[in-house]
Homo-oligomer: A and B are copies of this chain.
Amino acid sequence: MGHGMASRTDTKTRILDAAEKLFAERGFSETSLRLITSKAEVNLASVNYHFGSKKELIRAVLARYLDVFMPSAAAEIQRLFKNPELANLNEIFSSLIKPLLELNQVRHGGTTIFLQLLGRGYIESQGHLRWFITTHYGQYLEAFVRAVSASAPHIPPAEMFWRLHFTLGTIVFTMASADALNEIAAADYGEHNDTEAIIRKVIPYMAAGVSVPILAKE
């Protein structure tokens, strides 16, 4: 029963740390277990020993971020609605900035990595990560959707569903190519934006899109 607790945790963490970086950079299926374990300086078989399979490793990588982000984000939303006057969309989206940037304290570059992982998870892996997220964190997602819907009551639920996924695509694609975009922006416009600056640029864009009135058909 008693055994080397320290070394086991260490190996698991080394794997998770190496995996999340590589997954975010190159995607899940493009990242082999051999590359992960060599970067982590652990044995190849240790992934299957500690996590069971590659698929479960992917889930563990995502869960480590979601377990921090989701409750924090939910608390921010709740705090916002304690206020008597209704929050507007910009405020709701902006309330996610703090939980997102806190991920940088959890791990270096955590904010960018998390958003990139989220994007990869939704695009790759036909549905099984989407299912994992909605079943494990559905309560948080629903609370967020309710908050947004209350702030834009003129948008019907079905339309809001689509617009929130447009929003997901906007943020996820932007963060996935943030490094490349930043290089171009620096070269062409002399701009140097960190992750927070980009988030603050994208929020007005998303808020405007989500709340734009639906045009009557001609």
Q: Give residues 83-131 of A contacting B (CB, 8 Å).
A: 119, 122-124, 126-127, 130
The docked-state distance in angstroms from the alpha carbon of A198 to that of B162 is: 9
One digit per residue, 1 when the CB lies within 8 angstroms of any chain B CB and 0 when it does not, for chain A 158-179 equals 1101110111111111101100
The chain B residue with its CB closest to the CB of A215 is: B204
How many whole Å from A189's CB to the nearest CB in chain B?
Answer: 4
The docked-state distance in angstroms from the alpha carbon of A207 to that of B212 is: 9
Q: Pick 24 A–B contacts, CB within 8 A, sort by A.
A: A26-B126, A29-B29, A122-B173, A158-B188, A161-B185, A161-B189, A162-B181, A162-B185, A162-B198, A162-B201, A163-B205, A165-B174, A166-B174, A166-B205, A169-B169, A169-B171, A170-B170, A172-B173, A204-B215, A205-B209, A205-B210, A207-B212, A208-B208, A208-B212
**B-binding residues in A (CB < 8 A):** 26-27, 29-30, 119, 122-124, 126-127, 130, 157-159, 161-163, 165-174, 176-177, 180-181, 184-185, 188-189, 191, 198, 201-202, 204-212, 214-215
